[in-house]
């Protein structure tokens, strides 16, 4: 027998739903509709992930359970409904699940730490490639303002012969960073609580790659996405009047840390490439270049230490 298509009263906005078993298929369809109405672009993906978080299942397993007509208990359906309500209010999916995928990692995230974005995976790839290309048998990589630790831990795990150092100066973010470093437990990764301009004086002139995803939004700009505007920490977003205050610090710190021929990699907004290249050229960097992400937007500027 086919289960009724309308969701149960405890889950749906419909005040007069049909009675019947609460199946994964019904809850999933209702969740997709609700999230789409809330303006969430990938409503189907988020629905699968929310349901899977409660059930302890992958997206594929959730979809299989929907096809097979799996019935949910009332407590499980209520738990899913609670999470859906939070997502409808545009609370980040990663805050709800407590996890954020990044390349091959699963990172702990929540209030106070910037949630790593897919586009930053490409920034990390540039840094990984640069670190791998170094002739030094044990090259050093530094991540300035590491946030969740995403880039630094990707470097450490994907370039295991390198030594990777990372700093973070947010008291709200640092507990998340520490937890991720402890969980990944990369033996070649070191984390410190410090301002990026002052960190790692003992490494001056010895580093092969410096990478940073600094705050770069101008102070008077308003982020479009509610997930960013309402939930991401301001310290991780805003970079002063023109958005480049921290980029300037990254440039100066990179000159201090890198050896000749070392690489600087900076993530930035899609309209900032030319301005950052000019800034780096003025500081004396060589071979400045801006690279696009998978959506063809300018995302990363690189330079070489003279």
Catalytic residue, chosen from 8, 11, 92, 114, is 114
Residue predicted with more confidence, 3 or 268: 268
Rounded to an integer, the average pLDDT of 89-100 is: 95
Contacts of 159 (CB under 8 A, 6+ apart): 128, 131, 132, 139, 141
CATH number of the domain to which 254 belongs: 3.40.50.150
Question: Are 138 and 191 found together in one domain?
Answer: yes
Angle, CA of 239, 204 and 133, to the nearest 5°? 85
Kindly report, residue by residue over 230-239, the tens digit of the pLDDT.
888 888 888 8
Torsion over CA: 16, 20, 24, 25 (sign): negative
Q: Are residues 118 and 192 in the same domain?
A: yes
Let me know whether 138 and 180 are in one domain: yes
The one catalytic residue among 17, 92, 213, 238: 213
For 214, half-sphere exposure in the C-beta direction (CA atoms, 13 angstrom radius) is: 27
Whether residues 143 and 286 share a domain: the answer is: yes
Same-domain check for residues 178 and 62: no
Number of domains in the chain: 2
Domain membership of residue 30 (yes or no) is yes
Which tens digit of pLDDT belongs to each residue from 61-85? 999 999 999 999 999 999 999 999 9
**Helix (H/G/I), strand (E/B), else coil: 262:** strand
Domain annotation covers residue 7:
no
Distances (CA, A) of 234 to 99, 111, 237, 268: 20, 11, 5, 16
Tokens coding 280? 């780096």
149/284 same-domain check: yes
Residue 97 domain flag = no
Is residue 181 flagged as an active site residue? no
Question: Is the same domain home to 124 and 219?
Answer: yes
Same domain as 34, residue 147: no
Helix (H, G, I), strand (E, B) or coil at 197: coil
Catalytic residue (choose from 17, 116, 139, 214): 214
Q: Are residues 49 and 196 in the same domain?
A: no
Prediction pTM value:
0.87
Say if 234 falls within a structural domain: yes
Domain coverage including residue 141:
102-304
What pLDDT digit, counting tens, does each position of 143-198 carry?
A: 999 999 999 999 999 999 999 999 999 999 999 999 999 999 999 999 999 999 99
Task: Answer whether residue 15 is part of any domain.
Answer: no
Residue 1 reports pLDDT greater than 70:
no
Q: Alpha carbon 263 to chain centroid distance?
A: 22
Please indicate whether residue 6 is annotated as part of the active site. no
Is the pLDDT higher at 223 or at 254? 254
For 20-49, the pLDDT digits (tens) are 689 999 999 999 999 999 999 999 999 999
For residues 202 and 153, membership in a common domain is answered with yes
By the 10 Å C-beta count (0-12 exposed, 13-18 middle, 19+ buried), 78 is classed as middle
Of 66, 89, 112, which residue is a domain's last? 89
Q: Is residue 192 part of a domain?
A: yes
Q: pLDDT grade, residue 6 (50/70/90)?
A: very low
């Amino acid at each position: 027998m086919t289960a009724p298509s309308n969701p149960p009263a405890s889950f749906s906005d419909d005040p007069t739903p049909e009675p019947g078993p609460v199946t994964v298929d019904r809850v999933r369809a209702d969740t997709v509709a609700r999230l789409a109405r809330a303006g969430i672009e990938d409503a189907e993906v988020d629905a699968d992930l929310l349901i899977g978080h409660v059930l302890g299942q992958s997206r594929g397993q959730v979809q299989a359970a929907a096809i097979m007509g799996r019935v949910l208990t009332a407590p499980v359906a209520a738990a899913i409904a609670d999470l859906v309500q939070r997502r409808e209010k545009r609370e980040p999916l990663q805050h709800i699940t407590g996890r954020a995928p990044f390349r091959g990692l699963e990172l702990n995230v929540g209030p106070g730490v910037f949630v790593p974005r897919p586009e930053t995976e490409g920034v990390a790839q540039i840094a990984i490639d640069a670190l791998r290309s170094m002739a030094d048998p044990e090259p050093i990589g530094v991540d300035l303002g590491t946030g969740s630790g995403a880039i630094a831990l990707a470097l450490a795990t994907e370039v295991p012969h390198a030594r990777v150092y990372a700093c973070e100066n947010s008291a709200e973010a640092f507990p998340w960073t520490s937890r991720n470093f402890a969980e990944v437990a990369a033996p070649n990764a070191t984390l410190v609580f410090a301002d990026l301009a002052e960190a790692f004086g003992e490494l001056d002139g010895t580093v092969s790659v410096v990478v940073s995803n600094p705050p770069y939004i101008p102070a008077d700009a308003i982020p479009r996405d509610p997930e960013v505007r309402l939930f991401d920490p301001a310290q991780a977003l805003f970079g002063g009047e023109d958005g480049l205050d921290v980029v300037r610090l990254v440039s100066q710190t990179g000159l201090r840390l890198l050896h000749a021929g070392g690489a600087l990699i900076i993530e930035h907004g899609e309209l900032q490439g030319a301005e950052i290249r000019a800034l780096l050229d003025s500081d004396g960097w060589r071979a400045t270049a801006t690279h696009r992400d998978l959506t063809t937007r300018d995302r990363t500027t690189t330079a070489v230490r003279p």
